[in-house]
A = this chain, B = another copy of it.
């Protein structure tokens, strides 16, 4: 793996993702960062995070990419392949602690899983 360097952008993006705990788009991340960072740079940082296994990418039915921290501590570990929920009202995507299970013939080689449920989230449905 290529050697990584510490930069303000990395720190800022990580902090935003860490605080929200949800999956965010590049646009949403940029808006949450106080310093001014170029769009392309944020994408490159996010893609590097994905390469390094720090972050995972979710593609929703809106065709957009969302990025979330990979949570691996014991307390609130998320299954490697979990469902995501995109709320149409508050426009957030959360990683659900619900594992994706499926039965498929051995001849299929599954390399990636992308599962997104869309609708109204818990918080928004209570209003």
- Give the interface of A toward B (CB within 8 A): 57, 59-65, 83, 85, 88, 96, 98, 100-105, 107-122, 125-126
User: Is there contact, CB below 8 Å, between B98 and A121?
Assistant: no
19 interchain pairs, CB-CB under 8 A: A59-B62, A59-B63, A85-B104, A96-B102, A98-B104, A101-B101, A104-B117, A107-B122, A107-B125, A107-B126, A108-B117, A108-B119, A108-B122, A109-B120, A112-B117, A112-B119, A114-B115, A114-B118, A115-B115
Nearest B residue to A82 via CB reads B102
User: Is there contact, CB below 8 Å, between A63 and B61?
Assistant: no
Nearest B residue to A120 via CB reads B109
The contact of A61 among B62, B112, B117, B121, by CB within 8 Å, is B112
Instruction: Please indicate the chain B residues that have their CB under 8 angstroms from the CB of A120 in the complex.
Output: 108-109, 111
Measured in the bound complex, the distance between the Cα atoms of B104 and A38 in whole Å is: 38
Instruction: Please indicate the chain B residues that have their CB under 8 angstroms from the CB of A98 in the complex.
Output: 102-104
